[in-house]
Structure 1
Amino acid sequence: MESPQRLRIQGNENLQRMMAGAMFRKVKSRSSKKQRHFKLKEDCATVGYQSSWTKMSNSSFSVCDVEVVREGHQSEVLQSLAHEFAAECCFTLVFRGRRGNLDLVAETAEEAQAWIQGLRALMENMESMDERERLDQWICDWFVKADKNKDGRMNFKEVRKLLKMMSMDINEQHAMLLFKTADKSQSDTLESEEFVEFYKMLTERKDILALFQEYSSDGQKLSVCDLEDFLREEQLEGDTSQQHAIELIDRYEPSDNAKKGQAMSIDGFLMYLCSPEGSIFNAEHQGLYQDMSQPLCHYFISSSHNTYLLEDQLKGPSSVEAYIQALKRGCRCVEVDCWDGPSGEPIVYHGHTWTSKILFKDVIASVANYAFKVSEYPVIISLENHCSVEQQQVMAKHLSNILGESLLKSTLDGRVPSELPSPQDLKGKILIKGKKIGGIEDNLDEAQATLTGEVSDEDEAAEIDKDSLPPEETSQGEKNSKQSLCKELSDLVVYCKSVHFGGFEKSRETGKPYEMSSLSESKARKYIKEAGTEFVQHNTRQLTRLYPSGMRTDSSNYCPQDMWNVGCQIVALNFQTAGTEMDLNDGLFNQNSSCGYILKPTFLREYENAFDPDRPQDSGNYHPKKLIIKVVSGQQLPKLSKKEGSIVDPLVRVEIYGVPQDQSKQETKHIDNNGFNPLWNESLLFTIHTPELALVRFVVEDYDMGMRNDFIGQYTLPFTSILQGYRHIPLLSKDGTSITPSSLFVHIQTTDLA
């Protein structure tokens, strides 16, 4: 069976070489450089690699998981070995999610180029596939897996095994009936086209068929009027026109005859519902739809904590790759912990721990290269400065030289600001957050001074149990907590001056718009509990940065929602740690073109509003909603266990995150032995008191009566970005990457509550 990927790249010489295979050095470090044989598999979608001494496959990766191919010495490992391996023989595969890079060295520059160009061609083709071609590719992959003897046919035994692999347990008599119906050649085997027919019968969407027939005038097709009725009554597209219905038919109907008759078949209807236009996420919110001209403090800002770490904050590796990954995910505030290093060069790592060390100048170079790849709006470098005056001067020099014109060194208009500038005003600019000698007023007067004060508002390393520290670091932790600040570094701090938080009253009386404070999660929770409304008011005028407790040595995260509820802008999370907390962060920031800035609701921007998250009903902006989610069905949920014959027992849980009154969870019953096409048809009802702050998280789990359920996939989005009607929800892995074609099919209805 020819895969769509292979059909589209036939005749490509690079692909022919890749399918023949090649030897590469797989480089992990200076001491780990092992020979491996890499080969593109017949599906043209998977690369397998073997060791030099055995023919058994060690591992593989899917081409669709590769985000980018870098040529030459474009990784820390390959840069460190530049003297040993020529740049033209080196390349790096960067994967989506949190999977580490794959650094490879070819035997010749020609071989390297064949793979670089070949992989890029495959990736480009994958990206350009439509929904039908992606599904065909997926079917092809299963056919190849099930065809164990590689004869291009499948007998019934192979088909039964395939159904188990696909996490589906159906009656053997029913499976045999489908098999015989598809076996047109009566050979007791299925050839590729027969297998496609078998698959279509197997995957018949009865839920979609019932919906189709409900709106079809003749039970066979949807006329333009039928489709208009569906769009208006179910999808609640009030301004639906005849022209829009015709456009959908032209876009999604596969039959030319149906198109000519201006009608949509069941196949076209299914393609429409599975398309981006049938997604739960409002397409208008995917683009840049918010006002970007308000002061910085009026936005939630995607922010990373301990950005240099790839793993935990006690022993994990530090890497510039962590900055690259965060910036590519739309992060707009990165943290840099700076310490005195050897040879006069400042280093970055988590102080007083076993985390590895990287050069400050390399970190700044990575920020310079990737700051504006996915968003043109400003990046804030949050400096945690533990350096001597001498190495602070080196830091200032590196910041100026490496960042160049993108580094903001003075106010935009040369005046002392009465409010912060906007993301629009600061496009393409990098701001430094840190301690500052005096204020902007003094800086403009060229004041000469030296500040002596606390080392840091957020010396999280000091919170770590000293018994867990390296011996040589424990003594460093005892050092004097006072520090001098050099003027060169101080002058680079403009709109983000770090100040100790002295309480809301002091902030109200003497706080300046360019002053900001950093608070630990525990201090923030204390203020939220004791003075939530004052916290909201403070955040209408000034920036607040929150960070996880230093006791989180595993780099776990706190729930950011509580902090967003009071308008905190820079809620820093460990981007390297997957979980619910990062799902919420991704869910909030995936809107507005994923630019890293989300405009806060009106009641969090107006000082006079006095919004209280604990009592949203007291707000003048109180507009509660009723949310009804009918979980209809699931499609191709992945099997988690490698155990032979294991099948998923899926359930769906809907979680609401928002103000305290909105926090709730409900779930469906589980479906026994069917991860392939489970059908729930269960409705879940929620009351949303503050829809402007609510996030909705759909979670699919594999039910286990005796143990904790296994995570299958999730999808999180803002309540305000949800479209009503019948919608498909694409599922994401723990890493936030797509697990196509896995999805949920739901019906959404929202109504106003009086």
Structure 2
Amino acid sequence: MLCGRWRSCRRRRREEPPMPAQVAAAVALPPQPAPQDTGSKRPGLRALKKLGLTEDEDVRAMLRGSRLCKIRSRTWQKERLYRLQEDGLSVWFQRKIPRAPSQHIFFVQHIEAVREGHQSEGLRRFGGAFAPARCLTIAFKGRRKNLDLVAPTAEEAQQWVRGLAKLRTRLDAMSQRERLDHWIHCYLHRADSNQDSKMSFKEIKSLLRMVNVDMNDMYAYRLFKECDHSNNERLEGTEIEEFLRRLLKRPELEEIFHRYSGEDRVLSAPELLEFLEDQGEDGATLARAQQLIQNYELNETAKQHELMTLDGFMMYLLSPDGAALDPAHTCVFQDMDQPLAHYFISSSHNTYLTDSQIGGPSSTEAYVRYQRDSGGEHSWEPSLGASVPTVGFLGATWLSLSISLMTDQLADIRAGGLILLYWLLQQLKGRVLVKGKKLPAARSEDGRILSDREEEEEEEEEEGVEAAEQRRWAKQISPELSALVVYCCATRLRTLRPAPVPPQPCQVSSLSERKAKKFIREAGNSFIRHNAHQLTRVYPLGLRMTSANYSPQEMWNSGCQLVALNFQTPGYEMDLNAGRFLINGQCGYVLKPACLREPDTNFDPECPGPPKTTLTIQVLTAQQLPKLNAEKPNSIVDPLVRVEIHGVPADCARKETNYVLNNGFNPRWGQTLQFQLRAPELVLVRFVVEDYDTTSPNDFVGQFTLPLNSLKQGYRHIHLLSKDGASLSPATLFVHIRIQSS
């Protein structure tokens, strides 16, 4: 039995005009097979045609392929054949290695940006011999390196730039149902071994393994024969469509739909409103139900009569309106007129590094990626580099002067209105804040900073490698740069005891994770009060040579605003950071809870009081989970789902379902996980899917993290992300969520 607000008997329907019998019959019919592609019966081209781009000249040129030169260095420059696959969403390329060529693909959905000309670090350094008009850069999501390419002609380069842009735009516009439809046709193309557009039972079994399901042979063959109306041991045309419809059935959604639709098997607007009210939807009205029908119903006859079929209901639940993340929170919705210290601010550490802290490569590309991931409106790339914690909705760029920058660039910015008279966040819009140490009045003849030796020794002992590195770079700061540091003056935070002279709002303290944890442990509430009006930056210990991360949650619990992480290292810590800043338009600024903003707050994360909220999550099913090893078609995942709570220590918990054997396509659980929460305003909820293994640690499949306050109740889909934060569409979890306050 599925959870929810069940009724022992169905409520009386709201008064509504009777539906004509012929209309009910028309919209209640099972979905008809899609018309066949007369231009080409190949599943791959049918998939591409669904994108509506088969006649586009740029896409057709990409289908034919191009010999593009890949640039890695001045000496490593190799020509390869690149060709768009017939699915329209992957690019095949071949590289020559001794004895035998190897073939690879990359996916359009993993592309973050396509740049023309010498607009990457690689092409600026190594592409000088090629005309910019022939050059393009494909930047990928996550940690994958850029692909710097040179085309034989400027026109061929433009065909790839324009073609990829069209494919990416079409992909972004696709609904979840369209993505699923396209996804399955892509696998049909791969499973059709002889490309005759007919599927034998052997090819159907291959298809099932490709989509991550190990179905019993007898059941699979019975399903195959039920669709083989021509009785020739081959499925083709409408028979394949029927097989796919049976394969993609969602019994759990049908059960919910029929509970509300009654005998006529269609939802009227009042019945849909009843479902929305049971979901706990804010602002559920009849007009809202009518709008959802217009937005998601596929059957025009049903839409004209304000009715929703099962297909339309599935479309709605797979859409952003049916997702776990509140759509209203995807825009800037919080008060942006509060002091800067009242916000969590997305922050990175040593942004220029792409790997380890010691000996790892550095790149200005890391800045571009970071600013892009932070929802930045623009990208300013300094000549020598800086630590750029955030560029967001406000366009307020932070620069930490850990190394010297071009003084004339910053002087121009200062002349353009850098210095501000107010500290309210909204008033910083369009400004650049420079954070750094001010040079002391006394300096040596060679320009080095003169500092108290005892303070240096104390800093060295407490901060170790990080402090030594900071002092080394501080010696290079020029007087002109120091003069720009006005509102974010770096200062040491030695104690939380009241100082003889109250600290100024323009002072910012930087603490290692070790020092911050010491303050949290020894003076929790005093630290929170300090952070209610002062900015605090926390950075990873210099001993984290591999660019590993600490959990940011403990620092957020104490109100620290700038919790800096190594963005180059994926893991649950970066998932938490992405989840924290997923909301508020992903602008990089999230308003802290009231208990962390009040100057006289008594909140202590170590003693948050009794439980205030009960979170109940029923994990129902999953859909189209990705294969972990595409090279091993017989490898099928055994998925389990874990729900993690990250918040104050008393709230932190993790619970998981059993695993489902050999089914990543449509596994079912129906298990309930419940959590008692004491400080719900700080909670992040992380949904994780793993592949169970009896002899080694489970393998990561996908995850999604979001704040509890942005989690919608009722039946919801969780749209999973990869380890690098890229979409795994159409992979989803289907859950029921209930949040009850004490």
Q: What TM-score comes out, normalization by structure 1 length?
A: 0.86
Aligned-residue offset at 1:738:
0.5
Instruction: Name the SS of the counterpart of 1:281 in structure 2.
Output: coil
Residue 71 of structure 1: aligned partner: 116
Distance 1:108 1:558 in 2: 48
Asked if 1:213 is matched to 2:258, the reply is yes
Partner residue of 1:429? 431
Kindly provide the CA deviation profile for residues 521-572 of structure 1, in whole angstroms up to 9, marking residues without a partner as x. Answer: 0111111000000000000111000000111011010000000000000000
Give secondary structure in 2 for the equivalent of 1:517.
strand
Deviation for aligned residue 1:501: 1.3
The worse-fitting range, judged by mean Cα deviation, of 188-197 and 309-318 is 188-197
Q: Give the drift of 1:613.
A: 0.7
1:43 to partner: Cα distance: 1.5
Query: How far did residue 519 of structure 1 move?
Result: 0.5
1:530 equivalenced with 2:532 (yes/no): no
Q: Does 1:397 align with 2:408?
A: yes
Aligned-residue offset at 1:219: 5.6
1:626 to 614, 617, 623: 614
The answer to whether residue 741 in structure 2 is matched with residue 752 in structure 1 is yes
Question: Is 1:575 aligned with 2:567?
Answer: yes
Instruction: Give the counterpart of 2:396 among 378, 397, 408.
Output: 378
1:28 to 69, 72, 84: 72
Aligned position for 2:383: 361
Amino acid paired to 1:380: W
TM-superposed CA distance for 1:438, in Å, is: 6.6
CA, structure 1 residues 125+197, in 2 after alignment: closer, same or farther (shift >3 Å)? same
1:186 is displaced (CA, Å) by: 3.1
Q: CA–CA distance in 2 between the matches of 1:567 and 1:581?
A: 17
Counterpart residue type for residue 681 of structure 1: G
Match of 1:491 among 457, 476, 483: 483
Residues matched between the structures, number: 687
Residue pair 1:384, 1:458 contacting (<8 A) in 2 also: no
Query: Aligned-pair RMSD on alpha carbons?
Result: 2.9
Give the Cα separation in 2 of the matches to 1:679 and 1:178. Answer: 20
Q: 1:707 to 1:82 in 2, by over 3 A?
A: closer
Structure 1 residue 381 displacement after superposition: 1.1
Query: Which residue in the other structure is 1:676 paired with?
Result: 665
1:485 CA drift (Å)? 5.7
CA-CA distance at 1:254 after TM superposition: 1.2
**Residues 6 and 631 of structure 1: is their aligned pair in 2 closer, same or farther, counting only changes over 3 Å?**
same
User: Contact 1:330–1:375 at 8 Å: present in 2 too?
Assistant: no
Does residue 616 of the first structure (1) align with residue 608 of the second (2)?
Answer: yes
Output the CA distance in 1 between the equivalents of 2:479 and 2:199: 75
Return the match for 1:182 from 227, 232, 242: 227
Q: Following TM superposition, by how much is the alpha carbon of 1:614 offset from its aligned partner in structure 2, in angstroms?
A: 1.0
1:230 aligns with 2:248: no
Q: 2:659–2:692: 8 Å Cα contact kept in structure 1?
A: yes
Contact 1:273 1:279 (C-alpha < 8 Å) held by counterparts? yes
- Find the counterpart in structure 1 of residue 19 from structure 2: none
Do the aligned partners of 1:35 and 1:52 also contact (CA within 8 Å) in 2? no
Is 1:695 matched with 2:684?
yes
Please, which runs of 5 or more residues in structure 1 have no aligned partner? 337-358, 386-391, 414-419, 443-448, 466-475
Residue type matched to 1:309 in 2?
Answer: L
Whether 2:617 is the aligned partner of 1:659: answer no
Aligned residue number for residue 119 of structure 1? 164
Written as runs of structure 1 = structure 2, the 5 A alignment for 1:182-581 is 182-218=227-263, 220-233=265-278, 235-237=279-281, 239-330=283-374, 361-363=383-385, 375-385=393-403, 395-401=406-412, 403=413, 408=418, 410=419, 412-413=420-421, 421-437=423-439, 452-453=450-451, 463=464, 483=475, 486-507=478-499, 509-581=501-573
Q: Secondary structure at the match of 2:383?
A: helix
Pick which of 219-228 and 550-559 moved more.
Answer: 219-228
CA gap of 1:548–1:507, structure 2 versus 1, over 3 A, is farther
Q: 2:254 and 2:551 mapped to 1: Cα distance?
A: 41
- Is the deviation greater in 124-133 or in 607-616? 124-133
* Distance in structure 2 (CA, Å) of the matches to 1:262 and 1:603: 46
In the TM superposition, what is the alpha-carbon distance from 1:226 to its structure 2 partner?
Answer: 1.9
Q: Distance in 2 between matches of 1:480 and 1:300?
A: 29
* Structure 2 CA distance for aligned equivalents of residues 209 and 508 of structure 1: 69
Conserved? CA contact 1:652–1:667, under 8 Å: yes
Q: 2:207 aligns with which of 148, 151, 162?
A: 162
CA contact (8 A) 1:407 1:431 kept: no
CA, structure 1 residues 407+81, in 2 after alignment: closer, same or farther (shift >3 Å)? Answer: farther
**CA drift at 1:740:** 0.4
Secondary structure at 1:363 match in 2 = coil
Q: Which residue of 1 aligns with 2:586?
A: 594
Indicate how the Cα distance of structure 1 residues 482 and 702 shifts in structure 2: closer, same or farther if over 3 A, else same: closer
Which AA in structure 1 matches 2:385?
Answer: V
Q: Report the secondary structure of 1:734's partner residue.
A: coil
Cα distance in 1 for residues equivalent to 2:293 and 2:471: 72
For 2:705 and 2:434, the matched residues in 1 are separated by: 31
Q: Give the 3-state SS of the residue equivalent to 2:169 in structure 1.
A: helix
Give the residue type in structure 1 aligned to 2:431.
Answer: K
Distance in 2 between the 1:381 and 1:315 partners?
A: 24
Residues 507 and 129 (structure 1 numbering): CA distance in 2 closer, same or farther, change over 3 Å? farther
Which letter maps to 1:587? G
CA apart distance, 1:121: 1.6
CA displacement, residues 261-303 of structure 1 (integer Å, 9 cap, x when unaligned):
3222111111111111100011111110011111111100000
Match of 2:180 in 1: 135
Deviations 1:562-597 (A, max 9, x none): 000000000000011100000000000010000000
The whole-number CA distance in structure 1 between the counterparts of 2:632 and 2:735 is 31
Shift of the 629–146 alpha-carbon distance from structure 1 to 2, 3 Å rule, reads same
Between 1:153-162 and 1:481-490, the stretch displaced more is: 481-490
Q: Which SS does the other structure have where 1:245 is aligned?
A: helix
CA distance in 2, matches of 1:219, 1:674: 33
Is the alpha carbon distance of 1:240 and 1:482 closer, same or farther for their aligned partners in structure 2, counting shifts above 3 Å? Answer: closer
Higher mean displacement: 309-318 or 654-663: 309-318
The one-letter amino acid paired with 2:335 is D
Specify the alignment match of 1:468 in structure 2. none
Structure 1 residues 122 and 482, CA gap change in structure 2 (3 angstroms)? closer
Match for 1:726 among 715, 719, 727? 715
CA-CA distance at 1:406 after TM superposition: 6.0
Retained in 2: the 8 A contact 1:507–1:538? no
Q: Report how far residue 395 of structure 1 moved.
A: 4.0
The question of whether the paired residues in 2 share the 8 Å contact of 1:458 and 1:520 is answered with: no
CA distance in 1, matches of 2:66, 2:417: 45
Percent of aligned positions with the same letter in both sequences?
A: 45
Tell me the SS of whatever aligns to 2:240.
helix
Contact 1:614 1:661 in 2 (8 A): yes
Matches of 2:484 and 2:471, distance apart in 1: 27
Partner AA of 1:101 in structure 2: N
Instruction: Provide the C-alpha distance between the structure 2 equivalents of 1:202 and 1:48, rounded to a whole number of angstroms.
Output: 29
User: Contact 1:464–1:553 at 8 Å: present in 2 too?
Assistant: no
1:28-78: per-residue Cα shift (whole Å, max 9, x none)?
A: 122210110111111222111113689855211111221221110011111
- 1:491 partner SS: helix
Q: TM-score, normalised by structure 2?
A: 0.87
Say whether residues 1:6 and 2:8 are aligned partners.
Answer: no
Q: Is 2:97 the counterpart of 1:97?
A: no
